[in-house]
Every structure is written in C-alpha cells, then in structure tokens.
C-alpha cells in the first residue's frame, strides 16, 4: 500500500510540471503577437502578467510543496494506521495465542486433574486390592496355621500312639509267683562282647540309675554274650557290687566266659530254662598282632592272666560251695575241650544262676522302630564297633572272620574261643 501511494504522488507532480510549461509557452506566444505600440503597456502588463505568473508559479510551487507535505502527512498517517493496524493485528494474534495457551493450560489442568483422579482411583483400587490380599493372606495364614496345628496334632497323636502312657512299676521283688520276671525301664543291655567301651557305658548307666533311685532294682539283660575283656568285666562287677540299688542279671540265650562270671556273681540272676551258661578253663593265648619280645614276658602275662581269672573263678567256686581246684576239675571232667556249658535249669542246681523264669514283662512304653533292627546294627552292637572298626574277612573255606577291636596295653580277654572270631 505504501508503494501505491508513492506512484500516485509521482503522477500528480509530473502533471503540475507540464501545466507550468504550457503556461510559459502561452505567455511567450502572446508577447510576440502584440504590437510595439503598446510595448510599454504591454511590457508592464507583461511584467504584471509575469509577476502574476510568477505568483501563480510560486503558488503552484507552494501548493506543490503543501501537496507534498500533505502527501507526506497522509503517507505518515497511512504508515501510522498501517503500523497501528499491524500492532492491533499482532495484538489480536497475541490474544489468540494467549487464549490458545490459556485453553491449552485449562486443557492441561483438566488432564492433570483427570490423571490425578485416575491416580487416586488407582491408589484406592490398589489399597483395596492390598487390603483384599492382606485379608486373603491372613485367611491363608490362618488356614496354614490351622493345617499345621492339625498336622502337628496328627503327628503328636501318631507319636503318642508309639508310647504306652501308664504308671511305671518298680517292684522290689520283680519275680512273680507264676515265674514271670517284671523288667522295668531301669535295664541295660550287655550283648555281643564285653569291651572297655561297653563296660564304661554299663557302669555309667548303673551310676545313673543309682542317682535316680538307690533302691529299685537294675536289670543287666544278656541275650547273647561270648565274654570279652577281663578288665572290662572287672569294671562291671565292681560297679554291680558297689551299687546301692541291686543289679540283677537276666540271661535269655547265652552267657559265656566273662558274661557267665558276671551272671553267676550278680546279686540275683534270672534265666530262661533253655538259656545256656558256659564256664571254661582259663586258656592263655596272644591276640593277633601282639608283639612279645621274650618267653619270660609271655610267662609273666600268662601268670597275670591266670591270677586274675582265678580270683573271679574262686568266687564262683565259693558260691557253688566247692574249692577252686575242684571247680576246675569239674570243668575239665564235664567237657573235653574245657568248655562246661549247662542249660539254665541245670545251671541253677550248680548255683550258676539263681532263678528260672517262664517269661518276662518289659516296661517298654515306646513302639519299636523297624529301622533300629537291621543285621548291620546287630553286628555292630555285638562287636561294639563303628564302621571303620569292624573288619570282616573271609577264611579259606569262605566263612566270615570278624576281628574284635584292638586290645589296650595290658588288657586281657576271657572269651569263648571261636574259629571265626579273632582278637586283634
């Protein structure tokens, strides 16, 4: 628009210049046509006309300048209006943008509020879900505890079913009139062989039962025992004699050698009619692997062995009412190999055992577990050995050979000699 206004002003200026030239041309032409008569008048008139023309020209120039100024003023006015219009347009655009921004802000706030509402709703739903989960977990925990309690009750009941809950009896005279022996829980097993480890166990049990009750009987149960260490047997016999509570021996199957001495010298002894009691002559032999440097040392050990056994065999002879020599003669007389064995009913007459029983009543309050009854455990119990101590080999005929634990320095064994049992 500014350029259009400039073009219009230029055309008007050109027209005014052309008109001014035409006026000059006319003046010149009129001056030529007039006569010389009236030169002065004419000259004056011309001067007047010229002045008038000059005045007109000046007026035209003045008008032209005024027009120019007006055009400039108009141009400035138009520029001002244009600038103002532009400012208003910019203001309108700014207002539009501000309104759009305010709209966006409102929309953003609305979205934020919506998101806050969704978040709050989600949090409430999460809290509700957590509450429900906690409720379910508590119910599950309660059910689990209840199930555990039921299982524990079942296990407890199953465990209780393994026991007999009854009053324990400890009669001073355990032998009934019908020949039944009442064996209380104050009992100690002595099977296999008499070893130092087993003797320590037996002695500690005797002391324990004495501390618990110094009057009620203690039962030493011998199912099958082939004898063993003389020193270990002495420990057991000394504990039996020094015990305030009476220690009774009970033989079910076989009591041989050192086990027979323990049975015969007990305060009271009981045996089944078909149980066998075996006493034999002292036979000295070196254990496998024992190193003896001289014959004198062998004789010294043999003398110590014989003296030790004669003390115990002498007490047996005394109980039988005979001398030791007489007892040793009868052993030799009644057995070609020196092993005098008698069934309990006949051994009673010899005073090797005091009472013959028809049966036993055990004070067993716990149901036996089958796991405790295996051949390996039985063999370990018989030989009083751990896995690495019980050595089993084969002889030339393919029979098993069992090696007893290594004897201690000075330890001597009084055991029924058997082909497949060797003292190391």
Residue with tokens 């039988």: 320
pLDDT tens-digit map of 124-171: 988 888 888 888 888 888 888 888 888 887 776 666 565 555 567 788
Q: Which residue has the higher pLDDT, 279 or 14?
A: 279
CATH 3.90.226.10 fits 180-384, yes or no: yes
| 257 assigned to active site | yes
Give the domain ranges of the chain. 1-25+62-136, 180-384
| 280 assigned to active site | yes
Reported as a pLDDT band with limits 50, 70 and 90, residue 302 is low
Distance in angstroms (rounded) separating the CA atoms of residues 85 and 325: 155
Which residues on neighbouring strands pair with residue 394, listed in sequence order? Answer: 400
Distance in angstroms (rounded) separating the CA atoms of residues 267 and 240: 8
With a CB cutoff of 8 Å and minimum separation 6, the contacts of 151 are: none
CB 194 within 8 A of CB 225: yes
How many CB atoms neighbour CB 333 within 10 A?
9
Reported as a pLDDT band with limits 50, 70 and 90, residue 383 is low
Distance in angstroms (rounded) separating the CA atoms of residues 250 and 183: 9
- 238-247, 273-282, 408-417: least confident range: 408-417
CA distances from 110 to 95, 115, 123, 153 (A): 22, 8, 19, 62
> Can you say whether residue 328 is alpha, beta or left, with left for phi > 0 and alpha for psi between -120 and 50 degrees?
alpha
Distance in angstroms (rounded) separating the CA atoms of residues 165 and 311: 46
Q: Which two tokens mark 46?
A: 């011309």
Per-residue pLDDT, averaged over 383-401, amounts to 54
Which pLDDT score is estimated for 190?
93
- Among 58-67, 214-223, 373-382, name the most confident range: 214-223
Catalytic residue among 184, 229, 269, 280: 280
Which pLDDT score is estimated for 103?
87
Per-residue pLDDT, averaged over 26-45, amounts to 64
- Average pLDDT in the chain: 79
Which pLDDT score is estimated for 331?
87
Catalytic residue among 184, 257, 269, 279: 257
CA distances from 330 to 245, 264, 281, 337 (A): 34, 16, 10, 12
Distance in angstroms (rounded) separating the CA atoms of residues 424 and 419: 14
Q: Which two tokens mark 103?
A: 């709209």
Which pLDDT score is estimated for 423?
44
pLDDT tens-digit map of 309-340: 678 888 999 999 999 889 888 988 887 777 89
- 203-212, 376-385, 414-423: least confident range: 414-423
Which pLDDT score is estimated for 202?
96
H-helix segments, 172-323: 196-212, 230-242, 258-264, 295-320
**Per-residue pLDDT for 238 more than 60?**
yes
Residue with tokens 């007026």: 59
Distance in angstroms (rounded) separating the CA atoms of residues 362 and 368: 13
Reported as a pLDDT band with limits 50, 70 and 90, residue 22 is low
């Amino acid at each position: 628009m500014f350029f259009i206004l400039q073009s219009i002003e230029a055309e008007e200026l050109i027209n005014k210049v052309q008109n001014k030239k035409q006026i000059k041309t006319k003046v010149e032409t009129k001056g030529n046509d007039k006569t010389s008569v009236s030169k002065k008048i004419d000259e004056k008139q011309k001067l007047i006309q010229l002045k008038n023309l000059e005045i007109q020209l000046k007026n035209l120039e003045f008008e032209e300048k005024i027009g120019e100024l007006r055009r400039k003023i108009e141009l400035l006015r138009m520029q001002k209006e244009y600038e103002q219009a532009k400012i208003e347009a910019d203001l309108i655009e700014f207002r539009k943008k501000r309104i759009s921004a305010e709209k966006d802000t409102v929309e953003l706030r609305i979205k934020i509020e919506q998101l806050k509402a969704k978040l709050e709703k989600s949090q409430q739903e999460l809290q509700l879900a957590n509450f429900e989960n906690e409720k379910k977990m508590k119910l599950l925990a309660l059910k689990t505890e209840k199930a555990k309690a039921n299982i524990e009750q079942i296990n407890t009941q199953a465990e209780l079913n393994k026991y007999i809950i009854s009053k324990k009896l400890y009669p001073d005279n355990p032998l009934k009139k019908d020949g039944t022996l009442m064996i209380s829980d104050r009992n100690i097993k002595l099977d296999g062989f008499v070893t130092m480890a087993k003797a320590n166990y037996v002695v500690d049990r005797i002391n324990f039962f004495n501390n618990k009750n110094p009057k009620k009987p203690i039962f030493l149960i011998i199912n099958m025992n082939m004898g063993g260490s003389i020193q270990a047997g002495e420990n057991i016999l000394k504990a039996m004699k020094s015990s305030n509570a009476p220690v009774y021996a009970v033989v079910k199957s076989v009591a041989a050698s050192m086990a027979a001495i323990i049975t015969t010298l007990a305060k009271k002894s009981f045996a089944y009619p078909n149980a066998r009691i075996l006493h034999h002559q002292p036979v000295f032999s070196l254990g496998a692997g024992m190193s003896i440097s001289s014959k004198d040392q062998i004789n010294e050990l043999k003398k110590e062995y014989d003296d030790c056994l004669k003390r115990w065999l002498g007490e047996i002879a005394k109980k039988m009412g005979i001398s030791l020599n007489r007892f040793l003669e009868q052993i030799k007389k009644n057995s070609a190999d020196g092993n005098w064995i008698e069934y309990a009913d006949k051994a009673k007459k010899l005073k090797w055992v005091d009472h013959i029983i028809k049966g036993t009543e055990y004070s067993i309050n716990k149901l036996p577990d089958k796991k405790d009854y295996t051949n390996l455990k039985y063999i370990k119990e018989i030989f009083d050995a751990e896995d690495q101590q019980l050595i089993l080999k084969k002889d030339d005929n393919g029979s098993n050979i069992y090696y007893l634990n290594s004897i201690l320095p000075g330890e001597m064994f009084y055991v029924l000699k058997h082909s497949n049992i060797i003292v190391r």
